[in-house]
Amino acid sequence: MSNIWKIDNQDFLDIDMELRHLRYFVVTAESQHFTRAAELLGMAQPPLSQQIRRLEQEVGTPLFDRTGRGVALNDAGRAFLACAQDILQRADAAVRTAQRAARGEVGELTLGFTESASFNGVVTELIRQYRQLYPDVEMTLSQGDSETLVARLREGAIDAAFVRPPFALDGGLTFTQLVQEPLMVALPLGHALARRKRLAPADLSRERFILYSRKSGYGLSADVMAACRQHGLNPLIGQQAPQLSSAVNLVAAGMGVAIVPASLRHLRPDGVVYRPFGLDWPRAVLGLAVRDQASGGRAANLLALARDPRKA
């Protein structure tokens, strides 16, 4: 028999019944016959009858009226049936939800991205495909510079990030390159060099450069400066911008020129034109970083999609 005990003035029944007992009961109730129910359950009839008896003892009242031709639910049984069906449906739903979560099909994905990544068509298409494949994953976006995002990724504050190297891959990070972009020169509208179709480092010998520099001193701007020096150009540094879009806005203000990834040409403030920059190196690399032990399957699914959209 069930025992009643109290916690915080709430009554609870100390019941030992299992989900299988509820399934036995529901199948028997729907079949209205022990033998047919036993066949459906893949068990012998005597053990089923015993389990139903134990369930009735646990509940504390008969649930069936036994007849010569079968069984029929009594009032208690009908009330219990509705609750048992609801419990089984909830249990099945809980199992399916847990399995979907393990496969990364539900839950939340916190995704970091650099501002420049939002202008890249490869990134936006990857996000679109991911949302199409996993519509029940809630995506939370977090913007920052690459160094900050990598640090947050190591700390577990975000699940994945679209970032630009260089950065150290220690600390259990995996980086998958998505694209290598050529560079372009952002020029003020009406600048004499805007009449040219393509610019070489020597063409910028008298220009002031607007840089986007990292705290570490490494990054795209540093690579561009090094490449220019290799081609005999000692760049004149005019301004330091906090991010690439700020550099483009400073170009619009006539404060200098900026070397930016080609995807930023989609950022078109009034007063700026873009021209290809004639350097084979460096390239603006953009990729996806995740922790080696990705949290759940959500980041792992995004990584798989990034590596091969056909296998996602």
Domains in the chain: boundaries: 3-102, 107-179+285-311, 183-282
- The rounded distance, in Å, linking the Cα atoms of 103 and 296 is 8
The SS3 call for residue 214 is: coil
Are 12 and 4 spatial neighbours (Cβ–Cβ below 8 Å)? Answer: yes
In this prediction, residues 97-116 reach a mean pLDDT of 88
The CATH class that applies to domain 183-282 reads: alpha beta
Is pLDDT above 80 for 137? yes
Residue 147: pLDDT band by 50, 70, 90 thresholds?
A: confident
Residue 11 phi, psi (nearest 5): -85, 135
**Token pair for 148:** 């900050």
Please enumerate, as own/partner, the contacts of 1-7 that have beta carbons within 8 Å and a separation of 24 or more.
1/57, 1/60, 2/58, 2/59, 2/60
* The residue type at 54: R
CATH classification of 3-102, choosing from 1.10.10.10, 3.40.50.970, 3.40.50.11890, 3.30.2290.10?
1.10.10.10
Q: Do domains 107-179+285-311 and 183-282 have the same CATH topology?
A: yes
* pTM exceeds 0.85: no
Among the ranges 9-13, 90-94, 221-225, which has the highest mean pLDDT value?
A: 90-94
Are 261 and 163 spatial neighbours (Cβ–Cβ below 8 Å)? Answer: no
Is pLDDT above 80 for 219? no
Among the ranges 131-135, 147-151, 268-272, 289-293, which has the highest mean pLDDT value?
A: 131-135
Are 187 and 193 spatial neighbours (Cβ–Cβ below 8 Å)? Answer: yes
Nearest CA-CA partner of 228 in 259, 198, 253: 259
- The rounded distance, in Å, linking the Cα atoms of 37 and 26 is 9
What CATH superfamily is the domain 107-179+285-311? Periplasmic binding protein-like II (3.40.190.10)
Is pLDDT above 60 for 6? no
Is pLDDT above 80 for 66? yes
In this prediction, residues 286-291 reach a mean pLDDT of 93
Residue 103: pLDDT band by 50, 70, 90 thresholds?
A: confident
